[in-house]
Amino acid sequence: MTQQGFNQLLQWGIENSAAPKNDITTQPTDQQRDPNRGLNPEVLAQLLGGPSDADRMRGAMTAVLAPIAEVDMDNKMIAWDNLEQLIEQIDNANNLESLGMWAPLVQQLGAEEAGSRMMAAWCCSTAVQNNIKSQEKLLANGAVEKLVGLVLKDGDQGVRKKADEIIGKLREIAARGPTG
């Protein structure tokens, strides 16, 4: 952040801070500044670290779902990799439901491109690892049937292998039985 950015942020903070009630310099309410005025979005983004994980997850899924004419396969694979890395964190995996991303993720198990099918299986696998909430959402969204179909019928060995990996994880979970 530049010196000017810090100065703007400091000025905004001073102007919008609450003065003690017995301070004679307190302005009447009709003269107070709008706390949203004067904020520089770029400075705030730098200060707060840019987009949230949820925003990055939405952006990745948007790229994944975009037509190939808009987002080429190389960039889709980058988006898949970014999404998979984000959902390694259990909170982000749990956010798949609140962001409405389970359905499109499971739909990608049937994508035309083998790379998308494999990465969808990989993301499902990552999301359910040590995460009961995500395991329940995976089941509720009908992914198991699609994954079994990939294991049995997919023409791409990488897709079959990744789908078989998650089916193996689900078998282990079922063998352990309910926890808690």
The domains found in the chain, sorted by start residue, are 53-176 (1.25.10.10)
Burial of 14 (0-12, 13-18, 19+ CB in 10 A): exposed
The phi-psi region of residue 40 (left if phi > 0; otherwise alpha if psi is between -120 and 50; otherwise beta) is beta
Q: What is the mean pLDDT of the chain?
A: 86
Nearest to 75 by CA among 42, 116, 112: 116
pLDDT at 180: 46
- Per-residue tokens: 137: 């959402």
pLDDT at 47: 72
pTM: 0.72
Q: 3-class secondary structure for the chain?
A: CCHHHHHHHHHHHHHHCCCCCCCCCCCCHHHCCCCCCCCCHHHHHHHHCCCCHHHHHHHHHHHHHCCCCCCCHHHHHHHHHHHHHHCCCHHHHHHHHHCCCHHHHHHHHHCCCHHHHHHHHHHHHHHHCCCHHHHHHHHHCCHHHHHHHHHHHCCCHHHHHHHHHHHHHHHHHHHHCCCC
pLDDT tens readout for residues 122-167: 999 999 998 999 999 999 999 999 999 999 999 999 999 999 999 9
Dist. CA 27–CA 30, nearest whole Å: 8
